[in-house]
Every structure is written in structure tokens, then in C-alpha cells.
Copies of this chain bind each other. A is one copy, B any other.
Amino acid sequence: MIDPRLAELLDAAPGLRLKTGPADLEHYGRDWTRRWTPAPLAVALPGTVEEVQAVGRGANRHKVAIVPSGGRTGLSGGAVAAHGELVLSLERMNRVLDFDPVDRTLTVQAGTPLEAVQEAARGHGLQYPVDFAARGSCTIGGNIATNAGGIRVIRYGNTREWVAGLKVVTGAGEVLELNRGLVKNSSGYDLRHLFIGSEGTLGIVVEATLKLTDPVPQGSVMLLALPSFEVLMQVFAEFRARLRLEAFEFFTDVALRHVLAHGGQAPFAGTYPYYVVTEFAGGDEATEAAAMAAFEHCMEQGWIVDGVISQSGAQAAQLWRLREGITESIARYTPYKNDVSVRISAMPAFLARAQALLGQAYPQYEVVWFGHIGDGNLHINVLKPADVDGAEFVAHCEQVTRLLAQALQEHGGSISAEHGIGLVKKPYLGSIRSPEEIALMRGIRRVFDPNGILNPGKLLDA
């Protein structure tokens, strides 16, 4: 028999699709964290803004918790529904609604995958430059909920920079049209920016108007081999000074080993402890000369010990795969993930501290490091050995995360650079936000969601 709350919802919105089968509840109740047992009440799949409003109103009436749901590629548990929540999936709202060539904006529904946004932009001769490996599965609504970053932040910034307008449905079922695509609008608090990164706790993003930019012609990609992490920032400084960097990503030999075991192609005859993949715009002679000058200077200094530069688009893609394949190649080890950031200038000191800390804390685990060095963002993945119990492994890793959070606090860093807080990082929020800030956030949340039905338990406890 159908839950009476759902029956009433269907009365209010007869076109609303609902799923309640066990396989659906499991599929829609979890994200990529795989740490919680999914147990939603049901899955609502609205096809229109009005249906989203109906879900909001119904949920408010019955105090049913809503978990807004995009591609569920999140790594912090922000889209997990483990306590009888109603999952509100935006997957049917996945259309490009409008392109404006004068404003150079694309208006899309929140369930549109990132890759579909990128393709639509390219179809109009423009570029939506936010990019990362989950592009095919993640949705723009989820990107906005976490202010997603990725591999081109060094040049283009985070998702936040590209949002010209948002249409959201509040917990009370009201529609807000935030900023409406304006370049300039100084008319009170910019609620658009408050929603970006709010992890579904203030309302449900249903549409976004995204800024587009000129496409960058295929640049060159270089893979560099480094002898130690101490020289990483020198290499970065040298390349940044001479080139217009589109990306500057680092990873370790351990990371590369996993990618190669997963089908990647070895870039060098030998192996080295650290690698950087960097891309820069401009296929012209001056750019190539600048790249060679940077490379040679670093070689002379001993900061680089080997390197290769792409000679074609295919080769560039091959080099990129070495970096982008990391997450997939280690997925079967159910890694415990840290996604931390510090100011770029604090990177050397923090890196040294973190390496010492983790080497000591995890002598028995394999640790895979990679990250966006030009943004001060490190990803630290601890791999679970097959013979260690999952809960025990997580408990151990959480202890180490506490130490890491303390180190981050001392270096002015953040426990979440781009994954969001969700459930996973909640215990460590106090390392980056003060008690006063947390109290203010809680107050804001109450203003938007007085009944506490929007993604409760995520980000902050009520």
C-alpha cells in the first residue's frame, strides 16, 4: 500500500513520477561514497518546476525530509538518503532551455549533465570551461550545490564564476529567480552566491543561466617528471611566469602505477616519484619557445628530470588520461578521500607536514596523492587493503583526518576544497569555520528552511 504522504503528493501533482521499488531506492539513495546504507522513503522525479514546487509543499506539510539529487557522483555523502527521506531527483529535468548569443549565456535545467552543457556551448562556438573527470555523470545542479572546481580552476575559477542566474524552489515551494542573468546588479544580498555551495540545504536549484566564454584552441600538454615534491612550487612558478596555464596538475608514482595497471600507457622508460601534467594555450612558436625555455630552466636547476610534450590532440588526450584516470583506477580499493586546500603560498609547508603526518599514520596503507597545485588543492586517497574491515578502516582514517584537520587549521586551510561537507566532512567543519560562522550558517539555514526538511543532517546539524 502506498504511503499516504506519497498518495497526497500524487493528488497534488498527478504527473509526478514516483519510484518505490527496492532497486530504485538503493540506486537513488546513495552517492559515490558507498558508506551509508540507502533507505529513502521514495524517489520523486519531477518533470517541471511546478512539480518540484508540489514536492516542496507536500514535504513541508508532512515534515518529510527531501534529499535533492543530481548525478550522485558526490564524494561527501551530500546526496545520501539513509533515513526515510524523499529523494528529489532532477534527472528528468535535463534540457538546454535557451542560448543567448549576445549575453553569451546558456540556460539549462538543473539535471543537465556537465558534459551536455559543455557540448551545447561548443555547438554555439563557445566554451563552458568548468571541467572534471565525472563530466558525463554529474549534473550542473550538483556542480552548483558544491561549487565544483576541477582541472581548469587555475585559469577559469570554480563553478561560482560561471553562474549568471539561478531559478530555485525553496523548501516552502516558492520559486526564486536570482540575478536573472545580469552582469551588474547591486540590489541587496546576492542570494545566488548563497545558494552556490549550499549542498541542497537552502532550496532546490531547478534552472541555471551559465556564462560562456571564447573557446581556447587546442593547446599543448606537457608531462613533467620531478625528483621530489620540494621542487614542485618552483616548477609551478617558472611555468606560470612564462605561460598562460590552462591546468597544472600533480600526481605521484603510486597514482601513476594504478593508472598504468588499469590500462594507461607508460609515458617514460623509467619511473620517477612525482609528475606534473600541465596544459597551456597557444599553439604558436612564441608559446612553444616559452614552454621550452621553462622546461630547460627547470632541467638545469634539477627541478625536472624528464618530460614529454604532446605533438597532437591524440597525444595530449593520452597524457591527460594519466591524470584523469586516477580516481577510476583506485575506485575498487574503496579509498578514503581527503580533499583539502591551503593558500598556494602555504602549499610547500603544508605538503611537508601532511606527508610526514600521513607517512607516520598509515604505514600499512597505500596513499595516493594528486591535486591541483595551482589552486592549493590536494586530493589524498587512502586505499583499503582487502583484508581490513571497512568500518575499522574508516574509523582509523577518521582519526588521521582529525590530525590533518588540525594541521590545516594551523596553515589556514580548508577540509573541503571542492567536494563539499555533506556527511563525511561534517565532524571537521570547525577546523575551517569558527563557532560564530557556524552559528550564522545555522541561522541562515533556518530562514530558508524553517521546518528543517531540506537535506537535514548534511553540512550542519540543526
Contacts and interface: CB of A to CB of B under 8 A. Distances in A.
A188 B459 contact: yes
A414 B190 CA distance: 13
Interface in A166-212: 170, 174, 176-178, 180-191, 193-194, 196-199, 202
Contacts of A158: 184
Given A103-B343, A103-B344, A343-B100, A186 B419 contact: yes
A360 to B, nearest CB: 26
Interface stretch (A40-48, A251-259, A370-378, A392-400): A370-378
Interface residues of A, number: 72
A407 interface: no
Nearest to A177: B434
Given A177-B434, A197-B189, A443-B447, A184 B414 contact: yes
A434 B180 CA distance: 12
Contacts of A198: 188-189
A176 B438 CA distance: 11
Contacts of A437: 176, 178, 188, 191
B414 A182 contact: yes
Contact of A416 (B147, B186, B432): B186
A421 B188 contact: yes
Contacts of A372: 184
Contacts of A194: 189-190, 193-194
A237 interface: yes
Interface in A191-241: 191, 193-194, 196-199, 202, 233, 237
Interface string A338-382: 000111110000000000000000000000000010011100000
Contacts of A459: 188
Interface string A402-426: 0000000000111111111100010
B184 A153 contact: yes
B180 A412 contact: yes
A372 B434 CA distance: 40
B183 A420 contact: no
Contacts of A447: 440, 443-444, 446-447
A185 B443 contact: no
Contacts of A421: 186-188
Contact of A185 (B176, B188, B416): B416
Nearest to A158: B184
Contacts of A199: 188
A61 interface: no
A460 interface: yes
A433 interface: yes
Contacts of A444: 189, 444, 447
A441 interface: yes
A343 B181 contact: yes
Contact of A197 (B146, B149, B153, B190): B190
22 contacts: A103-B343, A147-B190, A160-B190, A160-B193, A174-B436, A176-B434, A180-B412, A182-B343, A182-B414, A184-B414, A185-B432, A186-B420, A186-B421, A188-B197, A188-B198, A188-B433, A188-B441, A188-B459, A189-B444, A440-B447, A444-B444, A446-B447
Given A100-B343, A190-B193, A447-B447, 6 more contacts: A103-B345, A149-B186, A180-B343, A186-B416, A186-B421, A443-B447
Interface of A: 100, 102-103, 146-147, 149, 153, 158, 160-161, 170, 174, 176-178, 180-191, 193-194, 196-199, 202, 233, 237, 341-345, 372, 375-377, 412-421, 425, 429, 432-434, 436-438, 440-441, 443-444, 446-448, 459-460
